Structure 1
């Protein structure tokens, strides 16, 4: 589990209401340093995942005209407290991350008036937490994180997690859940049906939905190729 508290450097970069590129770059160095103090829960939630979410969140923020000074820290710190997939505390991970991020940002001198919206964006990003995203910025971070579970990278993350959990890739008798209800507690491919395709339908920004449709189609093509190879 990641540290609940991390020690920020002493000097806070200057901030403007629109977050200048210089300020954003300075804060990103500090967010990276904060994450370096912690270990990922699994390969699907490592620093590469965080960087992808940040990249996507920035792109969505630009298109959707969100507040970067909320989206950027929320995207970087959304998994500050990582809980393993099979841990009973999993549904609380985003709340714990929001609390840890708020403490870090407060100590680091981040604008106090932004902390509630940042905390909300972090808490609402999680699928399992079932927290409704009330702000545009929370919707952007939520979509960015959920998009990372879709498409080619989503497939890779699904099977990486399955390997960690020691589960088979698919049911030999019914790989694609044609005659049985899907159970992703048993097989990796079942996770496509229990969560991933459903996740694509939960995206709420226009830009996120458009990208989600493309990534969901990539996943369907993968399943078609898998079916052909399995015979």
Structure 2
């Protein structure tokens, strides 16, 4: 990466950190920071343009639609405006825009856009929704939305449509079956798949312990 590119990366990190100040704890700057680091780790073992990967990782959640009345265009718009003001070439801006549009779990069945860089960032984002961090983020968001922790009378629905998933108000434990436990088999890269195995096992162990405690068993 050139010095000019690194300067843009540094400026982007500063922009994102400021923009996400005060955001919900599971989707704040530190989520972006972790995804950024995970993407760099994965990219060391996979191919891809490091500049696009870092920009895409940093900007992937610049305006998460669920915190902006479902507006899926705001994030790409903000990212494009920022990158163009930084003098980033138009084809890179377009690539980053597509990454932001297609990275989320809600777009898992979309085949409209694919790239190595998207695959790496998508894996990094999914990994941060797994394991110990994923558990912490899930319960933080459930508390933020004032949802029940668990209600055995409300079954999980792992096959929801995009609209059903977006509008769900189910207890937090259901989210494990509707998203988190599905992620291991959705990883794109060899490195991402290897990293996902350990995090997946940890979540299964957590759920086993959760149900034992819920029922008052040893």
User: Could you tell me the TM-score, scaled by structure 2's length?
Assistant: 0.84
Alignment of 1:50-199 (within 5 A): 50-84=32-66, 88-89=69-70, 92-93=71-72, 95-130=73-108, 131-132=110-111, 133-171=113-151, 173=152, 180-182=155-157, 185-199=169-183
The alpha-carbon deviation at position 110 of structure 1 amounts to 1.5
Alignment of 1:24-35 (within 5 A): 25-35=6-16
Residues 134 and 26 of structure 1, relative CA distance in 2, 3 Å threshold: same
- Rounded Cα–Cα distance in structure 2 between residues aligned with 1:114 and 1:88: 28
- Rounded Cα–Cα distance in structure 1 between residues aligned with 2:156 and 2:90: 48
Aligned position for 2:164: none
**Ranges in structure 2 where 5+ consecutive residues have no aligned partner:** 159-167
Residues 153 and 195 of structure 1, relative CA distance in 2, 3 Å threshold: same
| Counterpart selection for 1:215 from 199, 202, 205 | 199
Residues 34 and 181 of structure 1, relative CA distance in 2, 3 Å threshold: closer
The alpha-carbon deviation at position 151 of structure 1 amounts to 0.6
| Counterpart selection for 1:201 from 182, 185, 209 | 185
RMSD of aligned alpha carbons: 2.1
- Rounded Cα–Cα distance in structure 2 between residues aligned with 1:210 and 1:146: 13
Q: How many residues align?
A: 203
- 1:47 aligned to 2:29? yes
- Rounded Cα–Cα distance in structure 2 between residues aligned with 1:145 and 1:205: 13
- Rounded Cα–Cα distance in structure 2 between residues aligned with 1:105 and 1:73: 9
**Ranges in structure 1 where 5+ consecutive residues have no aligned partner:** 1-18
Residues 84 and 43 of structure 1, relative CA distance in 2, 3 Å threshold: farther
- Rounded Cα–Cα distance in structure 1 between residues aligned with 2:44 and 2:92: 19
User: Could you tell me the TM-score, scaled by structure 1's length?
Assistant: 0.80
Residues 154 and 169 of structure 1, relative CA distance in 2, 3 Å threshold: same
- Rounded Cα–Cα distance in structure 1 between residues aligned with 2:169 and 2:183: 17
Q: Structure 1 stretch 28-37 or stretch 221-230: which is displaced more? A: 28-37
Task: Please list the CA deviations of residues 38-61 of structure 1 after superposition, one character each: whole Å capped at 9, or x if unmatched.
Answer: 235411100100000000000111
The alpha-carbon deviation at position 24 of structure 1 amounts to 5.2
The alpha-carbon deviation at position 185 of structure 1 amounts to 2.0
Aligned position for 1:6: none
